[in-house]
Chains A and B, each alone.
Chain A
Amino acid sequence: MTEIDRRTFLQRLAVSFGVVLTPGTTAAILTGCRPDPGIGRQFFTAAEYLLVGDLVERIIPATDTPGAREAGVPEYVDMLLTHFSDDQVRGEVREQLLALQGWLREHQADRIEHLDPELAETLIAALDQEAFPTAEDGPLPLDGLPGGETPLFRRLKPWTVAGYYTSEVGALQELHQSPMGVYQGDIPFAEVGKTWA
């Protein structure tokens, strides 16, 4: 909900039900719309941060709405690694990123964006297949991937998804939130059109 939506909602509420909204109450509701206080890069090196940005943007790219990088997913992943992961997970992820940087150098690239576009796509598909294999899969299309007991994307995928769809961009631009003030249990999906955030 934008700030305007919320104000309208509150006014309507106050008028129709005689609800007494103290200034404190209103402020509490409206602070829901304050911008992100911002989280910074604490775990990643500058190079790792760039690489992670490229990877998450490949998982959820900018289309008609912004992608994972603009939605702050690299900072979100950094926050998870800094505060919510143990040393083992931190070590494994760092090793996998290092190995990926090595792989890129072997292919004469600093960044995924510098690879031949087709090779870049194959790389991403291979990382995805490694993490989420299916019965129909052939062997991995590339050699020398970071590997590991928990493949990189098995962590990075859910982190990217959670980071993106709980961001303002993901929740309000890519998806939408249910409006306040109504519950309808059984309506045509066509009336709604998109997943609720």
Chain B
Amino acid sequence: MGVNQWDAIVVGTGMSGGWAMRVLTEAGLKTLALDRGRMVEHGDYPTEHKQPWNMPWRDGRVHPDDRKDYPIQSRTYAFSEYARHWFIKDTDAPYAQDQPFDWIQPDVVGGKALIWGRQSYRWSPMDFEANQRDGHGVDWPIRYEDLEPWYDLVEQTIGVSGARDGIPQLPDGVFQKPMDMNAAEKAARDRIEATFPGRRVIIGRAAVLTEPLDGRAPCHYCGPCMRGCSTGSYYSTQSSALPAARATGNLTLLARKLVHSVTYAEGRATGVRVIDMETGAFEEHTARLVFLCASAPGTVRIMLNSKSPEFPGGIANSSSVLGHYLLNHHARVGAGGEMEGMEDRYWRGNRPNGIYVPRFRNLGGDRRPDYVRGFGMQGGASRSGWARGGSMRGTGAAFKAALRVPGGWRIGLQAYGEVLPYHENYMTLDDELTDKWGMPAVRFHVGRFDNELAMRKDMAATAAEMLEASGARNVTTYNNAEIAPGNTNHEMGGARMGRDPRTSVLNGWNQCHDVPNLFVTDGACMTSSACQNPSLTYMALTARAANYAIDQLKTGTL
């Protein structure tokens, strides 16, 4: 093979790209992985375990200058002085917005797998059937059974802790032992489940180890995972996929390479055009297989930018749906309250996980007249600590002594709702705006519609009703509908899977209908959004598609 010739190219090294490079290299393919982010080696986590008093601005405050450089990134909860170095400088990579859309983007090898919240839930049979049943969006070309063995594989490989709860709409997986609930969470669970048959409160399922796995240690409960974990206790590209892919000897990973477009000739993708971000020079790489895993909008951006006489509107876009049916989840709606008593109970260690309420609406006998689909809830309880002193009356030794003892318990539930597939939610390339390296920038056109707005009212009311049943007092609700879509971090769609090449970009193997050796396995492929955190599903889809591509290569079909 020539210098720039490969068996496979993987664009993006985050949650889905990590899986693509692992499976392809393990099958013996000489694989090139490209990422525009800088290289981060496992252990290269400068703020890990840093004490607040050793931080320049004490405990991770975001400096006003950083808000200027990172006006969008600094809006995610994960952005602070402790994690700023994982995010892209918005001023280097601007994008246009017809309506506000927060696009949270990493700028490192490993992508958002380094920063993610690690909540990991399977989809259920209902989620793959939803479009067909209620007619919103096109039918998924696959069903739960198609993905089930790949969920098994992914969970076993990345390590997911959780309880086997036996909930049909949230299938159990291959779990490591679950983390504990605290006293208030257990009390709330018992009362909520007794009051509302059909609603369950479970411990979160998290890609955080509670048992050793492949040289990775169980969680040591320091707390803030998004700073990086040198014991590899949560799943990231660095902790798991990268060492596995490297061990094969088949991986070449190049950082600071911006993939500009996919090259195309005679019905096939021939490779990628890349901008070297240090020199600004263009490079070409060729391969028999190309996997796009640059995050949903990132992948669609590359595809729209891949123009040829056959595909003037972007590669594999004979259907003209490329860029359309963008999906996300809507959140920032829920309730909080105070739990009385249990002041003799406390915890030890910082649990990087919460509690979860699986979807219960619009299934079984629980039907809503005002919206379709449903939502899940993430939450947790804790006792207030010293911070309550900031708004407390009192001074002197008595004040200090009061804060030496924790305050009462507080509990909160935040809902995450499904967003329907709408043709009107789309992205294009902007006519003028480019990033710092000259690649056309994205323009988002994403709104919220009646189904989501009606669901939000119910989300707030339901969270409050459940907290009241849990015994909480002074329950207050919030419904921050003004927070831009995107801020829930679960952007998907834009190159959806489907059965019909006229209405979808990808087939049931994440393979472009129009260009068989081009695969899209990140969130861009999603045909509907369900309400669960999506990354586990991206990983399972990627593993499945990569294995299919390898088989097709072997049989000579590709």
Inter-chain CA distance A179–B54, complex, in Å, is 19
Task: Say yes or no: is A79 at the interface (Cβ < 8 Å to chain B).
Answer: yes
Inter-chain CA distance A185–B204, complex, in Å, is 13
A19-B215, A184-B349 known; A125 and B395 CB under 8 Å? yes
Q: Is B400 a contact of A183 with CB atoms below 8 Å?
A: no
- Provide the residues of chain A in CB contact with B50, threshold 8 Å: 31-32
- Pick the most buried of A17, A61, A124: most chain B CB atoms within 10 A of its CB: A17
Inter-chain CA distance A30–B309, complex, in Å, is 58
- Provide the residues of chain B in CB contact with A28, threshold 8 Å: 43-46, 48-49, 230
Q: Is B403 a contact of A195 with CB atoms below 8 Å?
A: yes
A175-B386, A180-B220, A182-B221 known; A19 and B344 CB under 8 Å? no
Question: Could you tell me which residues of chain B, from 6 to 47, have a CB within 8 Å of some CB in chain A?
Answer: 41, 43-46
- Provide the residues of chain A in CB contact with B186, threshold 8 Å: 186
- Provide the residues of chain B in CB contact with A128, threshold 8 Å: 393-395
Task: Say yes or no: is B181 at the interface (Cβ < 8 Å to chain A).
Answer: yes
Chain B interface residue number, banded? 35 or more
Q: Is A189 a contact of B344 with CB atoms below 8 Å?
A: yes
- How many CB-defined contacts (below 8 Å) exist between A and B? 197
Task: Say yes or no: is B180 at the interface (Cβ < 8 Å to chain A).
Answer: yes
Q: Which residue of the partner chain, among A6, A132, A185, contacts B393 with CB atoms under 8 Å?
A: A132
Q: Which residue of the partner chain, among A33, A125, A183, A185, contacts B51 with CB atoms under 8 Å?
A: A33
Q: Which residue of the partner chain, among A18, A22, A183, A197, contacts B347 with CB atoms under 8 Å?
A: A183
Question: Could you tell me which residues of chain A, from 165 to 188, have a CB within 8 Å of some CB in chain B?
Answer: 165-168, 170-171, 174-175, 178-188
Question: Could you tell me which residues of chain B, from 392 to 421, have a CB within 8 Å of some CB in chain A?
Answer: 392-397, 399-401, 403-406
Inter-chain CA distance A186–B393, complex, in Å, is 30
Chain A interface residue number, banded? 35 or more
Inter-chain CA distance A24–B56, complex, in Å, is 21
Inter-chain CA distance A195–B396, complex, in Å, is 18
A24-B43, A24-B44, A185-B182 known; A166 and B53 CB under 8 Å? yes
Inter-chain CA distance A132–B44, complex, in Å, is 45
Nearest A residue to B396, CB-CB: A61
Task: Say yes or no: is A192 at the interface (Cβ < 8 Å to chain B).
Answer: yes
Inter-chain CA distance A45–B183, complex, in Å, is 49
Task: Say yes or no: is A4 at the interface (Cβ < 8 Å to chain B).
Answer: no
Residues 19-37 of chain A, each 1 if its beta carbon lies under 8 Å from chain B, else 0? 1111011001101111111
> What is the minimal beta-carbon distance from A4 to any residue of chain B, in angstroms?
15
Task: Say yes or no: is B179 at the interface (Cβ < 8 Å to chain A).
Answer: yes
Task: Say yes or no: is B557 at the interface (Cβ < 8 Å to chain A).
Answer: no
Inter-chain CA distance A65–B21, complex, in Å, is 54
Inter-chain CA distance A166–B216, complex, in Å, is 31
Q: Is A187 a contact of B347 with CB atoms below 8 Å?
A: yes
Task: Say yes or no: is B282 at the interface (Cβ < 8 Å to chain A).
Answer: no
- Pick the most buried of B46, B212, B399: most chain A CB atoms within 10 A of its CB: B399
Residues 140-170 of chain A, each 1 if its beta carbon lies under 8 Å from chain B, else 0? 0000000000000000011001110111101
Task: Say yes or no: is A59 at the interface (Cβ < 8 Å to chain B).
Answer: yes
Q: Is B394 a contact of A63 with CB atoms below 8 Å?
A: no
- Pick the most buried of A6, A22, A186: most chain B CB atoms within 10 A of its CB: A186
Task: Say yes or no: is B63 at the interface (Cβ < 8 Å to chain A).
Answer: yes
- Provide the residues of chain B in CB contact with A37, threshold 8 Å: 54, 56
A21-B230, A61-B400, A166-B53 known; A183 and B180 CB under 8 Å? yes
> What is the minimal beta-carbon distance from B472 to any residue of chain A, in angstroms?
18
Inter-chain CA distance A88–B290, complex, in Å, is 56
Inter-chain CA distance A76–B57, complex, in Å, is 9
Q: Which residue of the partner chain, among B58, B182, B217, B393, contacts A166 with CB atoms under 8 Å?
A: B58
- Provide the residues of chain A in CB contact with B350, threshold 8 Å: 178, 183
Listed from nearest, the 5 A-B pairs whose CB atoms lie closest are A185-B180, A158-B390, A183-B349, A25-B43, A32-B49
- Chain B residues within CB distance 8 Å of chain A: 41, 43-46, 48-54, 56-59, 61, 63-64, 179-183, 185-186, 212, 215-223, 230-232, 343-351, 385-387, 389-397, 399-401, 403-406
Known: A162-B59, A195-B385. 20 other contacts (CB 8 A): A9-B220, A13-B220, A18-B215, A19-B217, A22-B43, A28-B43, A33-B51, A37-B56, A58-B395, A59-B395, A63-B397, A84-B61, A162-B390, A165-B389, A174-B404, A185-B182, A185-B351, A186-B186, A187-B347, A187-B348
